Amino acid sequence: MNPPLLWKHFAALAAIPRCSRQEEKVLSHLKDQADAWGLAWKQDKVGNLVIRKPASAGREGRPTVVLQGHVDMVCEQNRGRGHDFSCDPIELIEENGWIRANETTLGADNGIGAAAMLAVLEDKGLVHGPLECLFTVDEETALTGALQLDAKLINGRILLNLDSEDDGHFTVGCAGGMTSWAEVPVATAKPDAPAGWSVFLKGLKGGHSGVQIHQQLGNALKLGGRFIAEFLHSQPAGAWQLASLEGGDKHNAIPREAVILLAGPADGLKALKAFVEQVRTVYAAELGPEGADLAFEITSVPHPPKVLTPASQQIFLDLVAALPDGVQGMSKVVPGLVETSCNVASLRVADNTIFLMTSQRSSSLTLRDETGRRIEAVVRLAGGQIRHGDGYPAWAPNAVSPLRDLTTALWKRKTGRDAVVELIHAGLECGVIGDKVAGMDMISFGPNIRGAHTPKECVEIASVAVFYDLLSDLLKEL
């Protein structure tokens, strides 16, 4: 597969555990590679690593170019897969011109970008000016590396972010964001009902909570809360009791599965099956094509030791129903661009507490914060408390950008296709880095990656070759 150097390094990265906040082994690998190639490297306190490559002969006077990407990946797998991300390598599968993994996330986000930088560092045939390859940490959970970047680590003021997912699309701006964590106390009691029942909601597509939020893919937690409320309403009062609804664990992934735990009659299977048959068609029709695989798996389970009291059960269901989720507003400046959104990302009940995580994004920081206040109001009304993260800034595009103009002209010349220059509803590290390092001219691009943050993640082989070819030519021109 072309380019061979990039794919060699991608395969090596796939064999190294690198979930967010577990990047020690991959960083050690990068430093070992730099040492083997005789290249200087430097690391800041949070773990960000820069590897420097001197200019090609005769190019020493060119401006320093920063190539940037993150080393961590979202670690998700299909239920029952049994993959241990702390030690098991990602299984790479080539299929119909794409590379995917075996029922886990692939790590093309941002492993392809990191592999491209390693290929650039190793490739002695490339022509370029001075290079700084900046590998950042913990992008996926909190943009920690970018937010805590020591700005003295890099000298360049031209930055190529290699963390985009659409061939021919060039990002010049992005949304800011903020994650919030809430806790709501609840009362529990021993269940009156004699049996335990689990309803596993599955088959939703999931996806990126930023760039895919407008696709209405369905949120398993919101849908699970609705299922519980409607089911309990359809049954005799007190016959069923809620123990928990649980799902999601990543702020930037739309929950695609949820588990509902109920106490109910010993012969409750019949009632559950009848209700599932009734509502599955309704829910799937509301979701459209995205609901085609929606399913509910019913299982008899051990009797729950505790269930929510009737009052707490109502608080729980009201909380899940009232939380804002999905697109909250569209841009008034850029047609078709989501301006503000919220993702109900994670929910579980433990130790007489509802634990909730949400993610808010907006190209307007005031609207981002206002969405956070709305969530806070809902949590307060439920009797809970909330903590908001520091958040990260939006990336406003430069009105004048020689880098943008050169990159898009090169793309047109190489492919014959017009470049798509866009702002995206997601958090890119460019926004944070540009806020910390004055005078940056930045652009983000990459190959075709689909299903990021889900076990359906895949990368198109042919687009990777085009991506690396463009990157090589761009470095020659800068």
Contact 432, 147 (CB under 8 A): yes
CATH class of 178-388: alpha beta
What average pLDDT does the segment 288-309 reach? Answer: 96
| The one catalytic residue among 109, 132, 139, 325 | 139
CA dihedral 453, 456, 461, 465 (to 10 degrees): -10
- The answer to whether residue 290 is catalytic is no
What average pLDDT does the segment 294-308 reach? Answer: 96
| The one catalytic residue among 23, 72, 76, 429 | 72
The closest of 159, 62, 163 to 407, measured between CA atoms, is: 159
Burial class (CB in 10 A: 0-12, 13-18, 19+), 296: buried
| pLDDT, tens digit (0-9, with 9 covering 90-100), for 341-351 | 999 999 999 99
* Pairing status of strand 338-350 against strand 353-362: antiparallel
Give me the pLDDT at residue 8, please: 98
Q: How many CA atoms lie within 13 A of 344 on its CB side?
A: 31
Burial class (CB in 10 A: 0-12, 13-18, 19+), 67: buried
4-175+394-477 to CATH, choices 3.40.190.10, 3.40.50.12280, 3.40.630.10, 3.50.50.60: 3.40.630.10
The closest of 5, 130, 144 to 72, measured between CA atoms, is: 144
Residue 142 pLDDT grade (very low, low, confident, very high; cuts 50, 70, 90) = confident
How far is the CA of 161 from the CAs of 50, 66, 164, 434, in angstroms? Answer: 14, 8, 8, 11
- Residues contacting 66, CB < 8 A, separation 6+: 131, 132, 133, 134, 154, 156, 158, 159, 160
Q: Which residue has the tokens 């070992």?
A: 32
| pLDDT, tens digit (0-9, with 9 covering 90-100), for 268-294 | 999 999 999 999 999 999 999 999 999
| pLDDT, tens digit (0-9, with 9 covering 90-100), for 88-132 | 999 999 999 999 999 999 999 999 999 999 999 999 999 999 999
Omega of the bond leading into 3 within 30 degrees of 0 (cis): yes
Reduced to 3 states (helix: H, G, I; strand: E, B; else coil), residue 420 is strand
Give me the pLDDT at residue 390, please: 86
Residue 252 pLDDT grade (very low, low, confident, very high; cuts 50, 70, 90) = confident
Domain ranges across the chain = 4-175+394-477, 178-388
Cite the beta strand spans of 118-254 per DSSP E: 131-136, 158-161, 169-174, 176-185, 188-189, 195-202, 241-246
For the entire predicted model, the pTM comes to: 0.83
Give me the pLDDT at residue 387, please: 97
Reduced to 3 states (helix: H, G, I; strand: E, B; else coil), residue 368 is helix
Q: Residue 22, Cα to own-chain centre: how many angstroms?
A: 16
Residues 268 and 261: their CA atoms lie apart, in Å, by 13
How large is the angle between the packed helices 310-322 and 220-234, nearest 10 degrees?
140
Q: Lowest-confidence range among 205-209, 229-233, 347-351, 374-378?
A: 205-209
| pLDDT, tens digit (0-9, with 9 covering 90-100), for 425-459 | 988 999 999 999 999 999 999 999 999 988 999 99
* Bridge partners (DSSP) listed for residue 294: none
The closest of 142, 150, 163, 166 to 49, measured between CA atoms, is: 150
Q: Lowest-confidence range among 85-89, 181-185, 194-198, 247-251?
A: 247-251
| pLDDT, tens digit (0-9, with 9 covering 90-100), for 215-230 | 999 999 999 999 999 9
Residues 218 and 215: their CA atoms lie apart, in Å, by 9
Q: How many CA atoms lie within 13 A of 81 on its CB side?
A: 17
- The answer to whether residue 418 is catalytic is no
What is the percent of the chain with per-residue pLDDT over 90, rounded to a whole number?
93
Residue 153: is its pLDDT beyond 90?
Answer: yes
Q: Which residue has the tokens 């009791």?
A: 241
b/e per residue, 4-16, with b = 16+ CB within 10 A? ebbbebbbbbbeb
Q: What is the mean pLDDT of the chain?
A: 96
Residue 462 pLDDT grade (very low, low, confident, very high; cuts 50, 70, 90) = very high
Alpha helices for 303-428 (secondary structure H): 310-322, 365-381, 402-415
Residues 340 and 333: their CA atoms lie apart, in Å, by 13
